[in-house]
Amino acid sequence: MANSGAEKLKLYSYWRSSCAHRVRIALALKGLDYEYIPVNLIKGDQFDPDFKQINPMGTVPALVDGDVVINDSFAIIMYLDEKYPEPPLLPRDIHKRAVNYQAMSIVLSGIQPHQNLAVIRYIEEKINAEEKTAWVNNAITKGFTALEKLLVNCAGKHATGDEIYLADLFLAPQIHGAINRFQINMEPYPTLAKCYESYNELPSFQNALPEKQPDAPSTI
């Protein structure tokens, strides 16, 4: 383990959270040992005053590294990349780096916020379940169409070549959720679908999957 001897990292996570899933992949790639602390988003653990002391936004993931508390998957991943530089999560080439930032941002701010639990619950309660599904499908379709166009000419085995970089940490959980949670057909997005196949062969990605987490239900 890259952090043996140091105080164990703590990750506040929920098995099905795509945001926490990104960080679990980063921790695995960096070979970091950590304590998994489940926050049950369905039961409302994210609103618990003790948890809100850690993350006032009431969301997962949150990472505790000794006295340092970091919220937001992007900030956590960048922190880990700076503290544990190997393997690097950003390419040297500045164009490729920009593509990684762009893919990350499409998922982080263009797709996930629209399918977040709080949002879809609100739509379901105020309007109905059909509208909720249409809303999520629209956000994913728009985001995946943009990602497909962004990556079609630069993808290799993975999003921006054969190495694993930041974009992959955001794509894998987003595609996994789109397929398994929202039943999105990946046929219109062959580049994304091909990357997803490759991720599923990598142990760091396999071990970070929602269904492998200690708080996942035994039957999904």
Those residues whose C-beta lies under 8 Å from the C-beta of residue 124, and which sit 6 or more positions away, are 131, 132
Determine the Cα–Cα distance for residues 193 and 186; give it in Å rounded to an integer.
6
Contact status: 191 vs ligand GSH (CB under 6 A): no
Pick the binder of ligand GSH from 28, 78, 102, 116 (CB under 6 A).
Answer: 116
> Which residue number, 60 or 159, has a Cβ lying nearer to ligand GSH?
60
Q: Which of residues 91-110 bind ligand GSH (CB under 6 A)?
A: 108
Those residues whose C-beta lies under 8 Å from the C-beta of residue 188, and which sit 6 or more positions away, are 144, 145, 148
- Min separation Cβ 70 and ligand GSH, Å: 10
Q: Kindly report whether the peptide bond that precedes residue 88 is cis, defined as omega within 30 degrees of 0.
A: no
In the shown chain, the binding pattern of residues 26 to 45 toward ligand GSH, with x for contact by CB under 6 A and - for none, equals ---------------x----
Amino acid at position 55, single letter: N
Contact status: 60 vs ligand GSH (CB under 6 A): yes
Determine the Cα–Cα distance for residues 169 and 199; give it in Å rounded to an integer.
10
Pick the binder of ligand GSH from 1, 68, 98, 118 (CB under 6 A).
Answer: 118
Q: Which residues bind ligand GSH (CB under 6 A)?
A: 17-19, 41, 46, 59-61, 72-74, 108, 116-118
